[in-house]
Structure 1
Amino acid sequence: MLQNGKSAIRGPFSTLQNLNRVMRPVLFTPIISRRGIIDVSRAARTPVDELMNLMNEVIEPAVRQELGLQSNKIPKDTFQRVEKAILNCKLRATVGEIAAASGLRISETEEALRALAYDSQANLQVSAEGDVVYSFSQDFQTTIRNKSFSLRLRPLVSKIQNGLSLLVRISFGSALFVSILVTFLAILAILSSSSGDSKDDKRNNNRRDIGGSTFINFSDVLFIGRNQRGGRKQEGDLSLPEAIFSFVFGDGDPNENFEEYRWQGLAHLIQRKRGVVTAEEMAPFLDPSPEIVVSMEERGFSTDDAFVLPALIKFEGEPFVDEEGHLLYRFPSLQTTVKAAEYLEKGYEGPFYEDYDGYLSRRPTAVYEKVWNLTSANSGQIFCAKLLGALNIFGVIWLGYLLSDPLVTASLLREGRGFIIALFPALIAYAGTYFAIPSIRNFQIKSRNRLIRDRNKARRQALQVLSRPRDRLSAKLASARKEGVQKEISKEDIVYSTDESSLEKEQSREKLDWDDRLETSKAANTRSSDWG
């Protein structure tokens, strides 16, 4: 792959090389040094030579290093979650621990860990049973970023994206004030250019007074609804332009990180249960159908475990039947850990976790989705957004009524104010979408929240079945606890490591073994010669 990348990099240089062949005879001028020796190498260097040298010595190696970095091949979200999980696991963990802390698939986690370990020169430790432990240095993040310009650029790109997002939100909200201002200024311009008879002038003056009374100090209302105490913006506060954007377009998915928290919580549960769980224990984290939950409530246990398939795929679980005929699920990758006691006691903190009594818990037993809201703006900001939107629609309708008169349009074109006619379609589009988009969103949100409440209800009912188990489910849970085994890898269990000291130790051990075998062989040969 690297050779292909190299050939791809050198390909565009062919034009420069051809140009260099043409320019070299023309620009060749011998340079005589102080000792009278002709410096042919310096004489033969043209500007194209300098450019080629720069590409070969600086640009090409940098591009080759960037293309060869394994971390750049990992999706951004996966890279960030694995990197965060490594820090949470205190730089030393198994693949299962990183998968549990990141909420990623085992295969996906292993691929990302190998890439990060390769780029940061992490230490791989292998136990006698073949379990691999990844050990990273304190500065592994710096080591990886020093090799990649794109990784160093990611924080800056993220800041720029956040800044642009904020700019768009403020710009759309401010556009409402601009639309109102332009609309009523256009109305005043049309009224001021009406016929000059006294009756029309009087009506024009009256309307001008009415129009003037509608002007407000826009700089004063930009921050309506924000907490003014201390002059500082508190968490969750929005300026009025931001609130207007939120009213029209919303605030994004409230369950954006739900999948991550869901799988983190389930993996943590499996680890606490020593790698063996039942379908009933996984149900509050998954999506059992209402029919399955109703069956669980009637029978006291699950009769259809199809809903656990995503968890089996995610963490490479395997079903098995115990001696009593109970169907259980084992997750070997989550049974191996480095810091079992300390890591499992810490738990995960997430906004979706609840315990049996419905309170937030550091040890999750269920996970719930959040319902969508039309907007995060407060009631005062919503009132202002609706009032200003209604005022804008009123002004656009009034302006459209005035522009429907051919004499008015002709007068505007004659006076050089034709831009008012050109702006009118944009004003209509803004005013129409201002209330149309929230109306459509409100319908979609109601439908989406109905499904979310159904899923949350099913998880809560499954949790209630688990919290008050009947005899058969109690026996099934007891069997799962009996089958569960947790294997903690200590430093004494490591038989091979990629660090230098371990290599030297292994080499010395192999040397001693070789010497022992050699001495044994010599002794055997001596005994054979004596018998001979």
Structure 2
Amino acid sequence: MEELQPLVQAIERLGYRVTVGDVAAQSGLRVALVEHQLLQLAAASQATLQVSDRGDIAFQFPHNLRQRLQQESWRQQLQLLGQQLWRLLFYLIRISFGLGLLLSIGLFVVAIIAIVVALSEGGDIGGGGGGDSSGGSGSSGSSAPSWGGDWWPWLTFDGPSHPNSERRSLNFLEAIFSFLFGDGDPNADLEQRRWQLMGAYIRSQQGAVVAEQLQPYLDRPLDSSESDLLPVLVRFDGQPRVSERGQLIYQFPALQVTASAADGRSRVARSLQERLWSFSQASRGQILGAIALGVVNLVLAAVFGGLLLLPGVASLGGIVAVVAGLYRFLLVYAIGFLAVPALRWLWIQRKNQEIRRRNRDRQSWADRLRKPSLALGEKLMQLAPWRTQAKIDPDKLIYSGDRDLLDQEFAQDSAIAAEWQTRLMQTDPEEP
């Protein structure tokens, strides 16, 4: 926020309670620029708006203004870095769980076969452990390529899907990912949708609104200072105004001018509605298949653990020794493969309850506007003087960059002459 430093210095010299005129005079910056940047500072530092009995507006900034701005800057940078690192970490976790399921099943199957072969040969397992383990290892080596060759085409992975890409059917690994970790936040674009709805609604209200009209697009009730609306003023270059009865009105001059042929007062969604979380985009068959593989993996882990208790089995080498060394980890993984989706399902139920509550609150705030109370109705009536909508008509242009300047001047002179002629024709002649 280097560009805001002159304003910060001016605010500090003025005692942290300032008006736009105070800061403009102190800093020497343009009034329009100061007004916009003051709103940015107020939003970043959680300052409050104050309105006098004359309708003048002041900003009360906290005395630790620089610290708050520094904390906000670091918070934004750390949040961006954290989001990038989390995407990478989460992607790696999903891949490790998907491939880990197949690897775990393969290890258990090969190790159990090796143990069964060793037991079927009889004799002293402990003494013949080397030969048996080598035989088991050789058996696993001959069967592994064919097992991998049969499954590899099924495990093709095209990378993580993107929100803007067309939805397609999930392959095996993607279905496993979806079963374990879901398909991402359905409201990842919530802020973008929020701003789009707010901008469209303000335009439909001819660029002037009160706080209650923007409430259905927020996540919580507004406090008495209405400070939650400061980001809206910053984004759409809004200006707080005071009506004749002392009501605070927000006017957005940039949204009161349009060159579009569409009607600016078209129907707009009256409230922001969040999407509910879904458990998985995988098909029912894919989810059942993932559950079945998870159960098979858990059963194989239990069988292998039981075989380890037999005399002499723990002394076998080769693949049996490898799986025995990893057994605790593989057992935790087998349990976690089924536990993680179960816990996630419970989390989704609670998350959706919160989303439904917020959606109901926003809808109730929108319903109050349809049937406003007496006080709210009077407040809405105060908007009339501030509402306006100017349309740039292509037939009434005095200059356009795609036309010759001399032709435009000639056309303008002709239009002026025609207008005067019309006025003279409409003037009554004087009576003799």
TM-score, normalised with respect to structure 1: 0.46
2:217–2:272 CA contact under 8 A, matched in 1: yes
Distance apart, 1:274 and its partner CA = 1.1
Partner Cα separation in structure 2 for residue 469 and residue 328 of structure 1: 17
Partner Cα separation in structure 2 for residue 493 and residue 422 of structure 1: 82
Partner Cα separation in structure 1 for residue 406 and residue 322 of structure 2: 79
Which residue of 342, 362, 378 maps to 2:262?
342
Which residue of 361, 366, 371 maps to 1:463?
366
Distance apart, 1:408 and its partner CA = 1.6
Residue 329 of structure 1 aligns to a residue whose secondary structure is strand
1:317–1:330 CA contact under 8 A, matched in 2: yes
Q: Which runs of 5+ in 2 are unaligned?
A: 1-38, 41-89, 126-146, 156-165, 410-432
Q: CA distance change for structure 1 residues 417 and 399 in 2, over 3 Å: closer, same or farther?
A: closer
Distance apart, 1:342 and its partner CA = 1.8
Partner Cα separation in structure 1 for residue 96 and residue 398 of structure 2: 59
Asked whether 1:180 is paired with 2:105, we answer yes
Partner Cα separation in structure 2 for residue 436 and residue 235 of structure 1: 28
Q: Which runs of 5+ in 1 are unaligned?
A: 1-105, 108-164, 201-214, 224-233, 293-301, 348-361, 507-532
Higher relative contact order (CA 8 A, sep 6+): 2
Pairing 1:191-230 to 2, within 5 Å after superposition: 191-194=116-119, 196-197=121-122
Q: CA distance change for structure 1 residues 410 and 494 in 2, over 3 Å: closer, same or farther?
A: farther
2:233–2:239 CA contact under 8 A, matched in 1: yes
Which residue of 158, 162, 184 maps to 1:252?
184
Q: CA distance change for structure 1 residues 398 and 245 in 2, over 3 Å: closer, same or farther?
A: same
Q: CA distance change for structure 1 residues 505 and 286 in 2, over 3 Å: closer, same or farther?
A: same
Pairing 1:39-438 to 2, within 5 Å after superposition: 172-173=97-98, 175-194=100-119, 196-197=121-122, 235=167, 237-289=169-221, 305-339=226-260, 341-342=261-262, 344=264, 363-404=268-309, 407-413=312-318, 418-421=321-324, 424=327, 427-438=330-341
Of stretches 265-274 and 181-190 in structure 1, the one that deviates more from structure 2 is 181-190
Partner Cα separation in structure 1 for residue 288 and residue 173 of structure 2: 13
1:251–1:375 CA contact under 8 A, matched in 2: yes
Offset from partner CA, 1:154-192 (integer Å, 9 cap, x none): xxxxxxxxxxx9999688546534432432232121111
Which residue of 331, 348, 351 maps to 1:445?
348
Distance apart, 1:473 and its partner CA = 2.4
Partner Cα separation in structure 2 for residue 281 and residue 181 of structure 1: 60
Offset from partner CA, 1:295-349 (integer Å, 9 cap, x none): xxxxxxx96634433322322322222123332111122223222x42637x6xx
**In the alignment, which residue of structure 2 is the partner of 1:454?**
357
Q: CA distance change for structure 1 residues 191 and 338 in 2, over 3 Å: closer, same or farther?
A: same
Residue 393 of structure 1 aligns to a residue whose secondary structure is helix
Partner Cα separation in structure 2 for residue 496 and residue 236 of structure 1: 47
Q: CA distance change for structure 1 residues 501 and 417 in 2, over 3 Å: closer, same or farther?
A: farther
Offset from partner CA, 1:366-388 (integer Å, 9 cap, x none): 11111222323344433332222
When the two chains are superposed, the root-mean-square deviation of aligned CA atoms in Å is 4.2
Query: Identity of aligned pairs, percent?
Result: 34
Offset from partner CA, 1:367-415 (integer Å, 9 cap, x none): 11112223233444333322221221111122133235572232234xx
**Amino acid paired to 1:183:** F
